[in-house]
Amino acid sequence: QITLKESGPTLVKPTQTLTLTCTFSGFSLSSTQVGVGWIRQPPGKALEWLALIYWDDYKRYSPSLQSRLTITKDTSKNQVVLTMTNIDPVDTAIYYCVHRRNECCNTWDAAYFDYWGQGTLVTVSS
Amino acid sequence: DIQMTQSPSTLSASVGDRVSITCRASQNIRNWLAWYQQKPDKAPKVLIYKASSLESGVSSRFSGSGSGTEFTLTISSLQPDDFATYYCQQYLSYPSFGQGTKLEI
């Protein structure tokens, strides 16, 4: 049974760096083809994909946010960490950790997501 | 970037109705499309992948069709549990989502 759970601050001040941790179980990020990512959703708005990391440490980022994002993994802890720099109030959102469906796609840039964490609301305000 | 546009934004229907939601892509995405259902304060749940393949465990009342740039999610005989927001997502390249369709009673 695959589960993912996000953790991190609920309130962040503008210009700070946001660090979110995803702790997962039911699979290993050292297994071939496995990918874990992040998606966010501002309150009442649509979903936005942010980043993906694969079993071999290959990383993909949203082109519009690439300069501000870093995704890393700790396979021994079953964790994936997302950092976002220079936070702004428009970054207020629910942040979801997601599992990429294995063997889903024709390229490593592509993904759809079969398991989601419960999400964590991050509010950016001074 | 591939833009995804859903219509309508809101859809009013009744239990037992058959409804359809349309998703259009800004370029040809072949059949690399997924549909999700999201209920209030819950994470999305995948319903359909590869435009028309039903995710395991999902009711057969849900079906997907289309290819290229135009896609449809159809729900036959609406049940009370189906009232939610639905999103399409392309995965030809970097994932991108539609703006959502809220299905309300």
Distance CA A113, CA A104 (A): 9
Q: What is the pLDDT of residue B14?
A: 96
Token pair belonging to A124: 């950016």
CB contact under 8 A, B49 and A105: no
Q: What is the pLDDT of residue A109?
A: 86
Distance CA B86, CA B36 (A): 6
Q: Taking Cα atoms as reference points, which of B69, B67, B68 lies closest to residue B25?
A: B69
Residues present in chain B in total: 105
Nearest CA in chain A to B6: A46
Give the mean pLDDT of B60-76: 97
Q: What is the pLDDT of residue A108?
A: 85
Query: Which residues in chain A are contacts of B89 at CB distance < 8 A?
Result: 47, 112
CB contact under 8 A, A46 and B45: no
Name which residue leads in pLDDT, B79 or A110. B79
Q: What is the pLDDT of residue B20?
A: 98
CB contact under 8 A, B94 and A109: yes
Count of H helices and E strands in chain A? Answer: 0, 11
Angle at A27 between CA A24 and CA A32, to 5 degrees: 125
Give the mean pLDDT of B66-87: 97
Query: Which residues in chain A are contacts of B93 at CB distance < 8 A?
Result: 107, 109-110
Distance from CA of A76 to the nearest CA of B (A): 26
Nearest CA in chain B to A43: B41
Asked if the model's pLDDT at residue B45 lies above 90, the reply is yes
Asked if the model's pLDDT at residue A105 lies above 90, the reply is no
- Summarize pLDDT for B2-43 with one digit per residue, the tens: 999 999 999 999 999 999 999 999 999 999 999 999 999 999
- Which of A60, A62, A113 has the most B C-beta neighbours within 10 Å, making it the best mutation to test the interface with B? A113
Instruction: Transcribe B7-31 into DSSP letters.
Output: E-SEEE--TT--EEEEEEESS--TT
Q: What is the pLDDT of residue B105?
A: 87
Strands B19-25 and B45-49: unpaired
Distance CA A80, CA A7 (A): 11
Residues 6+ apart with CB under 8 A from B41: none
Token pair belonging to B87: 């999103």
- In the block, tokens 């359809």 appear at B20
Q: How many other CB atoms sit within 10 Å of the CB of residue A49?
A: 24
Query: Which residues in chain A are contacts of B46 at CB distance < 8 A?
Result: 101, 112-114
Residue A66's region, left for phi above 0, alpha for psi from -120 to 50, else beta, is alpha
Give the mean pLDDT of B74-86: 96
Q: Taking Cα atoms as reference points, which of A116, A111, A118, A117 lies closest to residue A34?
A: A111
- Summarize pLDDT for A28-74 with one digit per residue, the tens: 999 999 999 999 999 999 999 999 999 999 999 999 999 999 999 99
Chain A, chain B: beta-carbon pairs less than 8 Å apart: 60
Distance CA A19, CA A73 (A): 13
Distance CA A20, CA B27 (A): 33
Using 50, 70 and 90 to split pLDDT, how confident is the model at A106? confident
Write down the mean pLDDT value for chain B: 97
Q: What is the pLDDT of residue A107?
A: 87
